A and B are shown apart, each in its own frame.
Chain A
């Protein structure tokens, strides 16, 4: 019984804390972010497994985690609100070449991030060449040049 409870609690907690942290937190994985992710995984594992190292427990945990994931994706298809809550919504940062500064600030993105994405993805070199910049739900910035 506790395998299901542990998996559900950890799943729910991770979902909430990463939503609170924001899309940008682990969006572009730096070396340090990667190490942080490993440490989080390690801390999670202890809580999930406890002191029960049996194969059964591992299988039950995996089954529960995948089950919750599938169940949630089915629910997301049915409920727009749940979908938005879990996945977030895309945010326009630059519209028709106009920088929307207050949104950027609240989303913790600066112009330099937008320009970096523009250079990397579109080979665009300045802000006035950007028609739209969108902070996607994944935390990445997509660029539509003029």
Chain B
């Protein structure tokens, strides 16, 4: 029979296929765990000196994600500042409750809310850039926290 077979090559392909199946299994497992967003591995929190943030470590491009701040008790109106270079990677959809004032302060953008803390504030944001994003949130120089997110394309 005139047939162009290559058993050696076929055996290598079979090996690669087995490895591929393993990778498929691992990807499914990682997805269930939240390695690509929405899951145990993804839901994390950061806190520093009374300021607490719950956020998704993994997000996806143009898929809404949420930053949930717990602002500490305060005498004046509750406020939180975010780095502007971090915010530039996002489109902000909603802030709940709505801030009464948004003011730039150097590299920061300060959101001021009506009434004193403690206050829970939710930012619903949509990532417009992908890759590693470094976020910083602060109330004062002493009450600050840093967090990292990874946005998949």
Question: Within B1-18, which residues are at the interface with A (CB < 8 Å)?
Answer: 1, 3-7, 9-10, 13-14, 16-17
Instruction: Give the chain A neighbours of B23 by CB distance below 8 A.
Output: 20
Q: In the bound complex, do residue A91 and residue B5 qualify as a contact, i.e. CB atoms below 8 Å apart? A: yes
| Pairs of residues from A and B, 6 with the lowest C-beta to C-beta distance, nearest first | A20-B20, A89-B6, A106-B14, A20-B17, A132-B1, A89-B10
For B14, B24, B62, the residue with the greatest tally of chain A CB atoms inside 10 Å of its CB is: B14
CB of B21 closer than 8 Å to a CB of A: yes
Residue of A nearest to B14 (CB): A106
Residues of B bordering A, CB below 8 Å: 1, 3-7, 9-10, 13-14, 16-17, 20-21, 23-24, 62
Contact of B62 (CB < 8 Å), options: A22, A51, A134: A51
Nearest-Cβ distance from residue A93 to partner chain B, whole angstroms: 11
Contact present for A144 and B1 (CB under 8 Å): yes
From B5, B9, B24, contact of A92 by CB (8 A): B5
Q: A91 is contacted by which of B10, B21, B62 (Cβ under 8 Å)?
A: B10
Residues of A within 8 A of B9 (CB): 84, 89
Q: With a CB–CB cut-off of 8 A, which chain B residues contact A67?
A: none
B3 touches A20 (CB 8 A): no
Note all chain A residues with C-beta closer than 8 A to B7: 91, 103
A92 and B14: CB pair below 8 A?
no
Q: How far is the CB of B15 from chain A (nearest CB, A)?
A: 10
Chain B residues near A12: list those with CB within 8 A. Answer: none
Contacts of A22 in B (CB 8 A): 17
